[in-house]
Chain A
Amino acid sequence: MAVAESSALERGLLSRPFRSGTASRRLLPILALALAAAAIFATGYGAVSISPSQVLGIILAHLGLDTGIAYTDQQDAILWAIRLPRVVLGCLVGAALGISGAALQGVFRNPLAEPALVGVAGGGSLGAVAAIVLGFTVLGRWSLPAAAFCGAFIATLSVYAIARTEHRTSIETLILMGIAVNAITSAATGYLTFQADDAELRSIIFWSLGSLGGSTWPVVQIVTPFILPAALLILIWSRALNLMVLGESEARHLGVNTERVRLTLIGLTALMTGAAVAVAGIIGFVGLVVPHLVRLVVGPDHRTLLPASALGGATLLVLADLAARTLVVPAELPLGVVTTMIGGPFFLWLLYRSKRTRIGW
């Protein structure tokens, strides 16, 4: 949002026209600490209460370190078998959504970009719903995640492949293709939902509202190799992403192979968010809102923004899942509903603020 004609007075009154660039990187350790605190708190909170020191004691005991902190066998069982895998999966999924949103907003130079835009949610839903309704069970309990992952990945790559013509992709085409592919997948999903019986409908609704309820260590083990390496690889491209934000041709003039950056980043984000969607269902607004929130604090430099969005996304999802499983006990709120309830109003505020101050995102 360039402001060509804003008067000096108006510019002087803007809320944050100045920003110190160097201070922002110091926030990363603080965000990491916040995540650790949120994770320990979430692990300890519930019907059976476990204190933070007991949480650490139990985890360290499982890693082979005896700390002498007293805890019961029941606490140990609940923490290790139920709560910890759920919190760890929340961290992974939240980090994947946060860093993917930040990377895609940079790639598309568009503050509204998020994984859903390039087909992850639409494709993932279609895969999952198809598996439920058509009775795809070849892979046992991994059938649904595998179908959702394939749907998400195929949808994203087809958006990219169709948009790429004459060896170049225009961002506008890519966004429009994303909208078209999302429309087609949601029509197909709608048709399958229409065909579903009552039991299948319950599964579809449960999945499409998002949940970390199915978290176990094997689930953590299977998504970690998709999410962790991809997240680390994305960090390598943070400098190039800064230049991409400057503009497609500007980045090229500065020696960036823009097509390769775009393909790599869309591929990596599809991998990560595809895996996230596969194990947790549709979790809205984390990928969209977290990068904006983080940008407000650390600024737009991707060298800080990307890791901070991963940490922020993980923290938000751990806390949202804590709310989802404790607000209406003994029932559980769908996680996607909680994140959207937080994200929606926040996004409205963000839009209002940017309209009012016009200082850019």
Chain B
Amino acid sequence: MQSGLPLQTTHLSVAAGDKLLIEDISISARPGEITAIAGPNGAGKSTLLKALAGDLEAASGAILLDGRPLSAYRPRDLARLRAVLPQQTLLTFAFTVEEVVAMGRHPHHGAATGDHASNQAAIEQAMQTTETTPLAQRTYPTLSGGEQSRANLARVLAQETPVLLLDEPTAALDIRHQHLVLDIARELADAGATVVAVLHDLNLAAVYADQLILLDWGRVAASGPPREVLTAERLRSVFACPVAIVSHPVHDCPLVIPLGHGAVAERSRT
């Protein structure tokens, strides 16, 4: 695996029709780090991730992978450099899990890294890491949502790219598998990969992210280490929901406790 590919945006705006979905976003996802994207519904998290994946065209600004504009890469070359985990993949036809994971090797087909032994090793490794080996011969449409999600992660890992873009990788998972997935992301980052993940759960972001980008109304509300970004004042204004921030009892990071609307009412009475 190649490592050390930074992914940046400079003054990036993306539009749908004449409505700007994200506006003037300048971020930098660095190799060796997990960059988490968080924010309320409709803040533009998925739009930003799709733009980073090359799915959406920039209305203005640029997206640079290793200093080169994303559009300058050929699709096949790009596929050897970055993998994308979508929120959900629906499969109409009954492919087995192993066949789905093997699809991740497609970009290596015909390349030096695409020989049978490397393919087989990458597929087995990816399934082992995601604990999907026992599901290998199961057909994808018969899996539960969480199992499908891990099978897709295995496919993305089998792609063996230095850049990984994960759209809500923990959404369909129970707590053990949430941590399994983010531990995998951590290991990849420690090995030099550039990992960008949309995370809804601020506490997962606080534990795992090196950099947290908080979006609000399509703009960057704050970015930096989670402990600097996650302040009670800022979260209340961005999410319109009062929170308390305490110290995590085990990890050296903040813990966000949403207080809910009851707290608003109570406070206004006192």
Q: Which residues of A are interface residues toward B (Cβ below 8 A)? A: 1-6, 11, 14, 16-21, 109-111, 239, 242-243, 245-247, 249-250, 252-257, 295, 299-301, 358-361
In the bound complex, how far is the Cα of B93 from the Cα of A21, in angstroms? 14
Residues 130-154 of chain B: 1 if any A CB is under 8 Å from the residue's CB, otherwise 0? Answer: 0000000111111111001000000
B103 touches A246 (CB 8 A): yes
Contact check, A247 vs B86: say whether CB atoms are below 8 A apart: yes
Q: A1-B141, A242-B103, A255-B79 are in contact. Are A249 and B84 (CB under 8 A)?
A: yes
User: How many A-B contacts at CB < 8 Å in the complex?
Assistant: 119
CB-defined contacts of B109 to chain A, threshold 8 Å: 239
| Binary CB contact string for chain B from 27 to 55 against chain A (1 if under 8 A, 0 otherwise) | 00000000000000000000000100111
Q: 29 A–B contact pairs at CB < 8 A?
A: A3-B143, A5-B145, A14-B142, A16-B94, A17-B142, A18-B137, A18-B138, A18-B139, A19-B94, A19-B137, A109-B92, A110-B92, A239-B106, A242-B99, A246-B91, A246-B100, A247-B89, A250-B89, A252-B75, A255-B76, A255-B78, A255-B80, A255-B107, A295-B94, A360-B91, A360-B93, A360-B94, A360-B140, A360-B142
B72 within 8 A of A: no
Chain B residues with CB under 8 A of A5: 144-145
Query: What's the Cα separation between A6 and B146 when bound, in Å?
Result: 12
Task: Find B141's partner among A110, A242, A359 (CB 8 Å cutoff).
Answer: A359
In B48-96, the 8 Å CB interface with A consists of 50, 53-55, 75-80, 82-84, 86, 89-96
Task: Tell me the minimal C-beta distance from A266 to chain B in angstroms.
Answer: 18
Q: Determine if A257 and B75 form an interchain contact, defined as CB atoms under 8 angstroms apart.
A: yes
Residue of B nearest to A300 (CB): B93
Residues of A within 8 A of B80 (CB): 255
Q: From the candidates B50, B92, B148, name the one contacting A361 in the complex (CB within 8 A).
A: B92
Chain A residues contacting B143 (CB-CB under 8 Å) are: 3
Q: Cβ of A256: which chain B residues have Cβ within 8 Å of it?
A: 75, 106
Asked whether B141 lies within 8 Å of A253 as measured between CB atoms, the reply is no
Find chain B residues with CB under 8 A from A250 CB.
84, 86, 89
Is the pair B79, A254 in contact by a Cβ cutoff of 8 Å?
Answer: yes
Are B92 and A253 neighbours in the complex by a CB distance under 8 Å?
Answer: no
Judge whether B170 is part of the interface by a CB distance below 8 angstroms.
no
Q: A4-B145, A5-B144, A18-B138 are in contact. Are A253 and B53 (CB under 8 A)?
A: yes
Residues of A close to B79: CB separation below 8 A = 253-255
Inter-chain contacts of B89 with A (CB < 8 A): 246-247, 250
Q: Give chain A's interface secondary structure class.
A: loop
CA–CA, A4 to B141, complex, Å? 9
Interface size counted on chain B using CB atoms at 8 A: 41
A359 to B93, CA, bound (A): 9
Closest A residue, CB atoms, query B172: A4
User: When chains A and B are docked, how far (Å) is the Cα of A300 from the Cα of B139?
Assistant: 10
Contact present for B91 and A359 (CB under 8 Å): no
Extra contacts, 18 of them, besides A4-B145, A301-B99 (Cβ < 8 A), are: A2-B141, A17-B139, A109-B92, A110-B92, A242-B95, A243-B103, A245-B95, A249-B53, A249-B86, A250-B84, A252-B75, A253-B53, A253-B79, A253-B83, A254-B79, A255-B80, A299-B95, A359-B94
Do B139 and A19 have beta carbons less than 8 Å apart?
yes
User: Which residues on the B side are within 8 Å of A249 (C-beta)?
Assistant: 50, 53, 55, 84, 86
In whole angstroms, how far apart are the Cα atoms of A314 and B86 in the complex?
39
Q: Tell me, in angstroms, the Cα distance from A256 to B80 when the chains sit together.
A: 12
Contacts of B226 in A (CB 8 A): none
Instruction: State in angstroms the CA–CA spacing of A299 and B138 once bound together.
Output: 12
**What separation, in Å, do the CA atoms of A245 and B100 have in the docked complex?**
10
Q: Closest CB of chain B to A10's CB: distance in Å?
A: 9
Complexed CA–CA distance, A3 and B91 (Å): 10
In the complex, A324 Cα to B100 Cα: how many Å?
A: 42
Give the Cβ gap from A16 to chain B, nearest Cβ, in Å: 8
B100 contacts across to A, CB distance below 8 A: 246
Assess whether A253 is in contact with B84, with CB atoms less than 8 Å apart: yes
B98 on the A face (CB < 8 A) = yes
Q: Is B6 an interface residue (CB 8 A)?
A: no
B8 at the interface (CB under 8 A from A): no
B148 near A2: Cβ-Cβ < 8 Å: yes
Judge whether A2 and B94 touch: CB under 8 Å: no
Q: What's the least CB distance linking B113 to chain A, in Å?
A: 13
CB distance from A215 to the nearest CB of B (A): 35
B-side contacts of A17, CB under 8 Å:
138-139, 142
For B93, B143, B145, B148, the residue with the greatest tally of chain A CB atoms inside 10 Å of its CB is B93
Q: Is B254 an interface residue (CB 8 A)?
A: no
